[in-house]
Amino acid sequence: MKSTPVTPVAPVYMTHLGIVCSLGSDQDLIKERLSSGNSHCLTYSNQYSTATLPLGVVNSTLPLLAELPEHHRTRCNQLMIAAVSQIKEDFENARKNIDPLRIGIVLGTSTGGLAEGEDTTHALYNDKVALNQGDYPKQEVSSSVECLADYLQVKGPAYTISTACSSSAKSLASARRLLRMGICDLVIAGGVDSLCKLTVNGFDSLESISNKPCQPFSQSRDGINIGEGAAFFLMSKEQGPVCLSGVGENSDAHHISAPEPSGSGASAAMIGALQDASITPEEIDYINVHGTATQQNDKMESLAVHTLFGNKTPVSSTKPYTGHCLGAAGAVEAGICWLMLTQSANLISLPVHLWDGQQDPEISPLNLVPHHSSIKKIDYALSNSFAFGGNNITLILGRAH
């Protein structure tokens, strides 16, 4: 029996990036801070809890959004517009001669305008300030994508993915599907989340918050730092510098908040992404791990990564720089991989893995990136995002040739 020829799948490119996080909003500065191992990117604050905690606060100047309707004026949307404004000129050039109905937006988030909802609730119950009709829409998880669609005058598919910490990584995968299915010719995809009391205190109630900068894969690790940020890509079939080469997604549904201990879900996501990209583990040049610095995640993820890649592939977690940006984490960390893949230098600097060097004997050994580390080339970078409920996704970004 003759085999049916496999039709090549059209590549989808990530042509431009807009990003803002606690590392900054200037891409050269972000790369410099990552490669130098700058350990002063977190801000100590008691704004979101009774304790003073290190948080990934965005200290860049944000747009005021005075031209937007009042119900769109949230910190989450400020972060989003700050990132998107970096690629707005590129977007306007790319959209020429494209039907507005064939331009889409896919956005990942978990908080929306919850911070403003907290302020409203406080005013309602403590100051007896009456609600107005703009208060509730701010809190809807769809509020940011509606704001962005209005801001850019996009008429095509515009929707939100909210799967906790995998949200914005899944938005990139979803955007690729829209393009490959021929529904859209251009998609803006990424994620945004802002700090709020609900998330900081919620993770504290799970005993997952650290009161010092987090230490992924260290014996002394004791939890995460929460952060905020936004990262958005222009995605299309038009040639760009980076291709979304592979995606692996699954839901192992092990537990509402704890990862599956053997790393089976994480392994399946990474294997799926490698198969989708038609490459081997040996072809991955750098891995940006989920690396939350919680006891269970790091033990599970190190086992899964070591089993597939051994301890030769360079690995780092960038959450000690940015905090855990929750719904925005996947896009922010994909953005960090994109910044490396678009370096033109002969020696490419890798994000230093910030930790105290105290190897946990129960952690599978990994090649954690030391200070002043660089390699001659990066063709493929892999990024992991693992969420509550066992919602796992791995992205592989490839340098376009």
Whole-number pLDDT of residue 20? 98
How is the chain split into domains, by residue range?
13-399
User: What CATH number was assigned to the domain covering residues 13-399?
Assistant: 3.40.47.10
Task: List Cα–Cα distances, 295 to 291, 335, 352, in angstroms.
Answer: 10, 26, 21
DSSP code at position 359: B
Structure confidence at residue 8 (pLDDT): 67
- For 195, the token pair is 């700090």
pTM of the model: 0.96
The span from the CA of 304 to the CA of 183, in Å, is: 35
Burial of 247 from C-beta contacts in 10 A (0-12 / 13-18 / 19+): buried
- Using alpha carbons, list the distances in angstroms from residue 103 to 99, 154, 170, 178: 7, 6, 18, 10
The alpha-helical segments, DSSP class H, found in 70-109 are 75-84, 88-94
Say if CB 307 and CB 267 are below 8 A apart: yes
* Burial (Cβ within 10 Å: 0-12, 13-18, ≥19) of residue 27: middle
Q: Are 77 and 108 in contact (CB under 8 A)?
A: no
Instruction: Output the pLDDT for position 344.
Output: 83
- What pLDDT score was predicted for residue 134? 63
pLDDT (tens, 9 = 90+) of the chain, 401 residues, equals: 454 444 568 899 999 999 999 999 999 999 999 999 999 999 999 999 999 999 999 999 999 999 999 999 999 999 999 999 999 999 999 999 999 999 999 999 999 888 888 888 888 888 877 777 667 788 888 999 999 999 999 999 999 999 999 999 999 999 999 999 999 999 999 999 999 999 999 999 998 999 999 999 999 999 999 999 999 999 999 999 999 999 999 999 988 878 898 999 999 999 999 999 999 999 999 999 999 999 999 999 999 999 999 999 999 999 999 999 999 999 999 999 999 999 987 889 999 999 999 999 999 999 999 998 888 889 999 999 999 888 999 999 999 97
Give the integer Cα–Cα distance in Å for 58 and 44. Answer: 12
The DSSP secondary structure of 207-242, one letter per residue, reads: T-B-SS---TTBTT---B-BB-EEEEEEEESS--SE
What lies within 8 Å, CB to CB, of 146 at 6+ separation is 72, 158
Q: Report the DSSP beta bridge partners of residue 387.
A: 391
User: How much is the pLDDT for 1?
Assistant: 41
